[in-house]
A = this chain, B = another copy of it.
């Protein structure tokens, strides 16, 4: 029975679903939260009791999502898709039918293709499906896809970074109102490479057991990404494709993919509080959306686009765990564990590294520690708090922009989102550097970053 109260319907109650609950209770106290989760444990029940949320043990599927969820959704309610393998496109359709807002932190299909089975469910293909839906969504209730930390808040940091760089280097520019303005600014700044650069140093007390996959966020999520082909936004300054690289035959053409699972591709990265580190080029939506957003075209032909990708060094125990994927299957994973209460120290350094061919490069991002994350919100570590802060900020923005159709993080008002999420992301570190992946790499070619 549909009631008139405000409702947040949440699909999936894993790491991020649990982490967002305290923020919803702070920022959306007037909403009833109703959660659907396939496998419920005691701690999840306790949590729902504490936050006065309703919890239903049911897997949301292709067949049942309409009949189960639609009766719960009214105009200006929220549908949050925080599950793995629950279709972004189908849930957006459902939300918009009811006049409800929609948000997820990652574009998902109902089912991922098996590793090695091509790119049918690559981030590129999934994004194109959303873009197709978007063409018919103008004026519909606002739906924000792929908006957590990254993908998500990093697109906000990127804009802040571009404005800061222009100001630091004394470069005048027009107000940035649309994608073309931002792309023009990026070109003026000679931005060639944008790394989403993350070095997670959180450590726990418990030793990893044989066969155990340990991470600071969803193990399913990370493993899925690790086994997908590596993907990256492909800049116009690049001279030659990397080994095993392919262009797409459809869609935006902003990105390429490699015939290699993400967990086998390593690149050089850098952060202000770790300096050089070796990162994995993990496929992520923002690599594609940022590259696409910052593309300038003349007569339809791209004349400027930066290379963009996610350069990720998970926490040390996750790195260790990734050896379990050596055969590119999940067969060696005997059990999983998410580091939360047992973390004893560390920060999740996550930011946008904007590399210019002409000017000093800028790393701007968060230095959030586990000690601070715990105090800001229960049920969180530094990693999850960055995700749910980004998501909550976008939810707040939707209320004041209710009929914008389907949007990506790059389309949002960066100042609003930044101001809303900043207390959870701070300390924000903004550091200029002359760092280069190799002494000779003045051109910032992708091959200079690639570790063979």
Residues on A facing B (Cβ under 8 Å): 199, 201-203, 272-277, 316, 344-347, 349, 367-369, 371-372, 375-376, 426-427, 429, 431
Contacts and interface: CB of A to CB of B under 8 A. Distances in A.
B273 A371 contact: yes
B367 A429 contact: yes
The listed residue with most B CB atoms (<10 A of its CB), out of A273, A346, A426, is A273
Contact of A345 (B277, B346, B431): B346
Nearest 4 CB-CB pairings of A with B: A345-B346, A203-B345, A274-B371, A427-B429
A62 to B, nearest CB: 42
B427 A347 contact: no
A273 B372 contact: yes
Among A201, A276, A368, max chain B CB count under 10 A is at A201
Contacts of A376: 275
A202 B203 CA distance: 11
Nearest to A205: B203
A274 B373 CA distance: 8
A133 to B, nearest CB: 41
9 contacts: A199-B371, A201-B345, A273-B369, A274-B375, A277-B371, A347-B347, A347-B369, A426-B431, A429-B429
Given A345-B345, A346-B345, A426-B431, A372 B275 contact: yes
Contact of A369 (B203, B274, B276): B274
Contacts of A345: 201-203, 344-346
A314 to B, nearest CB: 13
Contacts of A275: 371-372, 375-376
B347 A273 contact: yes
Contacts of A349: 369
Nearest to A366: B273
Contacts of A371: 199, 201, 273-275, 277
Given A202-B345, A316-B344, A345-B202, A427 B367 contact: yes
Contacts of A429: 367, 427, 429
Contacts of A426: 272, 431
A429 B349 CA distance: 14
Contacts of A277: 371
A274 B201 CA distance: 15
